[in-house]
Structure 1
Amino acid sequence: MIFNLSWKNFKGQFLNYLVYFISMTFAVVVYYCFSAITYNRTLISRAGRDIQINGAMSIGGFLVVVMILGFMFAANHFFLLKRSREIGLYHLIGMRKGKISFLFFIETLILGGFSLITGIVLGIIFSKLFSMILAKAMFLQVESLFRFSIPSIVQTSIAFVFMLLAVSLRSSWLIYRYKVNNLVKQPEKNTNAVNKMTKWKFVSGTLGLLLILVGYFLSYNIIQFGSLLMENGLKMAGFFIAPLIIMLICILGTYLFFKYTMYLIVFLFGKSKVTYYRRMNMLAVENTKHHLKRSGNTLFAITIFIAISLGMIGGAASFYTLGMNSVNVEAPTDFIVAEPSFQEVSQKIEDEPGANIDSVVTLNFKLTGSQYDIKIGREQKENTLSPINLLSLSNYREYQKINPYLKDIELVNDKDVVLLDSIQNILGGFIRYDSTFDLQEGLKLEVSKVRPDFLGQDLMRYGFPTVVVSDQLFEQVNSGIEYNLMAFNVDAVDEEALSNKLSDEVKVEWNNPIYFQYQWVNNQLEGYTSKVRQQPEQKNPTQNNDENKENEYWQLNYTNRFSDLRYQRRVMGLLIYVAMFLGILALIITGSILMLQQFAEAENEKESYDLLKKIGIPKKEITKLLYQQNSIIFFPPMLIGVLHATFAIFVFSKYISGSGYWLAYLACGILVLIYLAYYFLTSAIYSRIIHGRNLK
């Protein structure tokens, strides 16, 4: 009889358990596929030349476990609340708490077991699809990706059995904790406490909205805010602390918003007699107050989860674009080689069957001393004495013929120069060069324009800034040293084979050291840049704090576009793959939690809506009210989560400039549509639960 009663109640919770089952099954599929990839030797060996994917898959699997464990705890909490009367009835007929716990353990085990088996079966079926998506994202050519992985099945089973046991233990603890009276009685609404507006609630509600707006304002003005922190003693640490402060402000503001601000808005709406007594607004206001009181913490957690999931997918898309852009910055042509290494590299290319050098441009640089300022933030300046690279305009235009990323440059007169700023590619807005460069010959360079640096890896230019000058000005500079870089493209039948050969036979290394030392004396720059050491080498350089000591810099010998592009594609593809599935899983979990919560609310509100039907309120009006109440629960977390993610992406765009952030905002828009689907599905089922009672 007891098991029959349990089965009857279990069937009565079919919709709740269906949502739970689907979410759990999807989580098992994701976890199994992550695990299966770590055992796919073909895929791992194919990608292993550049990166190791096992670590990323293991981290992804761990995060899946954390997310689904949180979902199971939340879902289990809703199930116990909904079945409190059933548990109380078991007590009344003499069943001990241990027996009740055992029944719930069996239910959890059976439901979890079905989810686990279904998820593993679907995981085996779709593992090839998951592997193909990963291979496609990483631009890997792999013939066979399907594997029936016994170790993955065992690992997945162990992980989810552990979670089922953890949830069962928590259920038992909750059942033992509650008294019989609390389980039998339906929780009463404390109307006086809900309707009472205290000073604390008013202040906290106002502060919640204010903190969120302050966080958004600081995000929009992140450069000024970071500069302010740097100017007030934090120095460069302020650059990294600024986003953390904004994040903490937004988290605190979000908590207060869902605990007090939303209640304050509903309370003020209810104070308006014109709107409060119109149609069914009175009932909507009172119900919303009770819903917010019970759901404030849940809505806060879900909002943060949504922001993280959106930021995860959008951020991964942005990283991918930035990674591809970094290839164009560091290797705009197939190869850039330091002149001493050119003969060796070119010979290796010519020896490869089906490969030949298409064109060669010699980049002639003059490395000469300069005094200039680097501006940090808004006002801070850091005076720098170091060499800078000079490149003639004619040489720049010659290189432009084979480098599609270089923009046209026009110099109005011989004194005009254009700064190619590598810092602009990474820390645009925070750190920038001043407009004046003082050279050793007494020449003063005035920067007319600043352009992003697409000349190639700046470490091949010793990491110093580069300016494009007129041919006449280039000839006037006689101090310092000259060096050449050879840039060229290659026609190859098999680019990967050529790249692998060069990687094995020509190592990327540091060569061709230069030495410099400069001083600013009597408003003039004095010093040298040399290819040979001018001062004896210090035995204990850490003990020598003399600002006049000689500095030593080394040059990278060559860059290979194909190997850089392959590495970025595989790293960023792996990042997008993990972030995409984790983000989707997070979204499914948050939507499922809200859905389960609203199903529980529907059961509690049935009697109230039955009363409305008896007094003649049309079914259409009740349905409209149900959709309105669900919108108050679904829309604020969705909208604020999207806003949080949007401003977070905006902050990131100020730290690392790039043109691919539209992908992040597009991801936010797509996920909003998915979340709207959850809202409409939940509202439709909610309405069916309410109206279905009278149909019996």
Structure 2
Amino acid sequence: MSLNSIILKNFFKNLKNYTLYMFALVFSVALYFSFVLMSQDDSVADELLSSDLMSTGFIVGSVFLIVIIVTFVMFANSIFLRRRNRELALFQLIGMTRDKVLRLLVVENAVIYFGSLMIGIAFGFLVYRMLLMMLLRMMQIDLAVGMTFSIEAVVQTALLFLFIFALLMAQNYIFLKKTTLINMLKLEQSSEATYRGMGKGTVIFGVLGLSMIMSGYWLSANMMNFGNLLIFLMFGILFLTIAGTYITFKFSVAFILNMIRKSKNGHVNVNDVLSLTSIMFKMKSNAFLLTLISVVSATSMGLMSLSYIAYYSVEQTIEASVPNDYTFYEESDMEFYSDLLNENAIDHETVHIPTISYNGEGDAITIDPEAPGGFDTALSLSIVSDEHVDNFEAKDDEIMITGVAYFIDSYIDFNLNQTITLSSNDYKREVELKSIGEQAVLPSFVTYGSPQAIVSEEVYNELEKNHNDDEETNQPREGFGIDIAGEDSQGIYQFMSEYDYPPFESKIGQYNMQMQGSGLTMFIIGFVGLAFLLTSGCILYFKQIGESEDEKGSYNILRKLGFTENEIIKGLTIKMAVTFGVPLLIGVLHTYFAVNAGWFLFGNEIWVPMLTVVGAYIILYSVFALISLLYYKKVVKQSI
């Protein structure tokens, strides 16, 4: 039989094992190619308020995509080499040189790889328009999308995957050169961790791993109590959670499962044999891979959750920082645009709000002493009279605080019906706190992010009379704005934007910019997260294929002992739930504590965005567990 015949026969023999691998390759090529096509679409870039926003985002995203794809291909190839070690050894035993074996692998991989490359580019071109429409919808840009094909994108994709193919061939060459014939025949056995019972070391490290993770969680939940050590604390949390995760997979899982097995007092059933016992052997040898999957899954879900929180909270963020449809730095600027609107018969109302700054302290304001920003016990407040704002009416000796940014709640507590002492140098005035709100009444460039406080006209006049102006701060003391009658529109905004001077800020402009920025960020992170989810799920699936083939003899024995197919499948279902569920559970817990530590810096809602992301991730991840179980079911049927 010629070498070409062996290559052809061997290729079709192993084709069934490469099905999901080829699908993952095609999907990876399609993702990267469509990603490159979108980054080169000038029609979209022209619609963005920031010309560098899209290019920077896609460059960062493409780097992460490349890292994920390269890691996946190298991992998958390593798994396949180990699965085929006996086959490769037999080729050498029948007289084939290592060069011919390498040639066989090169031809096989070339057919699979470059076939997947061509199919992936074609598929990427087809889905490119759909993905671009999804991106535009997320950024709320109304633009007709056409089909754009780029030779440059094809060349860029082909060069990348040609480079990855070269890495694969180098990996194959090193494997064949360094692995002896005897080691190839024994590689399958030596790759599995040998279970040596529950020694004291396993118990100690098992408890240590769980303790490290819980310590990391506790520190992340109390980060704001360590304000001066925040940077060092973050590195400490990373070390505790990552190292703790590795030790958990290496020792803690076996420790817990062994305790469950011992609790049965020797009365184990087929489910225990196929799930608990098997996992105790396998988790230890795959500790590094499972740690990598858990940590990167947590990173993906965490970043997607934070980006969705920012996207979900855009409207509330605008309302809390931009009080009017248009805000201006000077009164003359406001009058200029007011005259312009009058000339074009656009009904509007001008807004002029004077303000003074006072420090507030007392029983109504509790500030965390470790809070960032240099706060001691007083909070800077921008005082406004209720005569100058709508929907607020303060009685004498009452104060209503509004424009409270969502992140302030993490280190400042407000207590209603308690006293606030307003102070300016030696003058002090006590008022009672009646309400707290998020709606801004002054623009952020006037308040510098501080909350606004509404008091009665009488109290405001008294405060203004006794206020000590600090000339050195050069802080604006007035807010100027325009509110369009009815509702503002993109048409009016575009009309006003035609004038470069004087400058202004607008709700629509801020909304467009934040939606574009957060929408693009969420899309790219979701894109990269999907690529990782696909590749990590495939790697776990490939691992299960290998384990199912190794355990085929065990299924044969169990069937001969009288166990039914359903009983065996039930045990394997538990095994799949633990194998896929434990890394996912740890990843979800890491995600929750990471997001919970800093979500308030991105928006004002955590549960809806985070549960949406985590729920979608769990559903997609479960698909790979189901596919693995179906493969096990097929192996069990073939065991007799």
TM-score, reference length from structure 1: 0.82
> Among 360, 376, 381, which residue is 2:350 paired with?
360
The aligned amino acid for 1:56 is G
Q: How far apart are the structure 2 equivalents of 1:419 and 1:177?
A: 72
- What residue number does 1:460 align with? 446
In structure 2, the gaps of 5 or more residues are 470-475
Corresponding residue for 1:252?
243
Counterpart Cα distance in 1 of 2:263 and 2:381: 69
CA deviation digits over 1:314-366, x for unaligned, max 9? 22211212333322222243112342321112233345x5x61333343232x
Give the paired residue count: 621
Q: How does 1:576-587 map to 2 (within 5 A)?
A: 576-587=522-533
- Taking a change above 3 Å as real, the CA distance of residues 648 and 410 of structure 1, as seen in their structure-2 partners, is farther
Correspondence 1:159 to 2:160: yes
SS at match of 2:313: helix
Match of 1:439 in 2: 424
Q: Deviations over 1:544-591 (max 9, x none)?
A: xxxxxxxxxxxxxx4211111111111111112111211111111111
Measure, in 2, the Cα distance between the counterparts of 1:492 and 1:420: 24
Tell me, in whole angstroms, the C-alpha distance in 2 between the residues paired with 1:179 and 1:104: 17
1:192-218 deviation digits (Å, cap 9, x = unpaired): 941322222211111111222222233
Distance 1:306 1:640 in 2: 9
Judge conservation of contact 1:37–1:131 (CA < 8 Å) in 2: yes
Aligned to 1:469: 455
**Residues 244/417 of structure 1: CA separation in 2 closer, same or farther (3 Å cut):** farther
Matches within 5 A, 1:3-22: 3-22=4-23
Secondary structure of 2:198 counterpart: coil
Structure 2: distance between partners of 1:324 and 1:48: 18
Offset of residue 288 of structure 1: 2.0
Q: Aligned residue for 2:208? A: 207
Contact 2:334 2:481 in 1 (8 A): no
Higher strand proportion: 1
The partner residue of 2:493 within 466, 484, 499 is 499
Q: Indicate yes or no: 2:374 matched with 1:392.
A: no
In structure 1, the residue matched to 2:397 is: 415
List runs of 5+ in structure 1 lacking aligned partners.
401-408, 510-557
| Structure 2 SS opposite 1:454 | coil
Match of 2:472 in 1: none
Aligned Cα root-mean-square deviation (Å): 3.0
Distance 1:61 1:369, change over 3 A: closer
Aligned-pair CA distance for 1:259:
0.8
Q: How does 1:644-663 map to 2 (within 5 A)?
A: 644-656=590-602, 658-659=604-605, 661-663=607-609
In structure 2, distance between residues paired with 1:31 and 1:609: 41
- Mapped to 2, the partners of 1:250 and 1:192 lie a distance apart of 24
Partner letter of residue 390 of structure 1? Answer: I
| 2:322 is the counterpart of 1:318 | no
Matches within 5 A, 1:278-293: 278-282=269-273, 284-293=275-284
**Which runs of structure 2 are paired with 1:335-374 in the superposition (5 Å)?**
335-337=326-328, 338-351=330-343, 356-365=346-355, 367-368=356-357, 370=359
CA contact (8 A) 1:356 1:492 kept: no
Amino acid at match of 1:391: V
The 3 A distance-change label for structure 1 pair 660 and 490 is farther
- Within a 5 Å distance, the mapping from 1:217-616 to structure 2 comes to 217-219=218-220, 221-222=221-222, 225-227=223-225, 229-230=226-227, 235=228, 238-274=229-265, 276-282=267-273, 284-337=275-328, 338-351=330-343, 356-365=346-355, 367-368=356-357, 370=359, 377-378=368-369, 382-383=375-376, 388-396=381-389, 398=390, 400=391, 411=394, 414-420=396-402, 422=404, 424-430=405-411, 435-440=420-425, 442-446=427-431, 448=433, 449-452=435-438, 454-461=440-447, 465-477=451-463, 478-480=465-467, 483-490=477-484, 495-496=489-490, 498-507=492-501, 558-616=504-562
Q: Which amino acid aligns with 2:242?
A: I
Q: How much does 1:432 deviate?
A: 6.7
Aligned to 1:107: 108
Moved more, 39-48 or 481-490: 481-490
Give the Cα separation in 2 of the matches to 1:572 and 1:207.
40
Cα distance in structure 1, aligned partners of 2:379 and 2:636: 76
What's the offset of the Cα at 1:226? 2.8
Distance, in Å, in 2 between the alignment partners of 1:343 and 1:283 is 79
Q: In the TM superposition, what is the alpha-carbon distance from 1:280 to its structure 2 partner?
A: 4.6
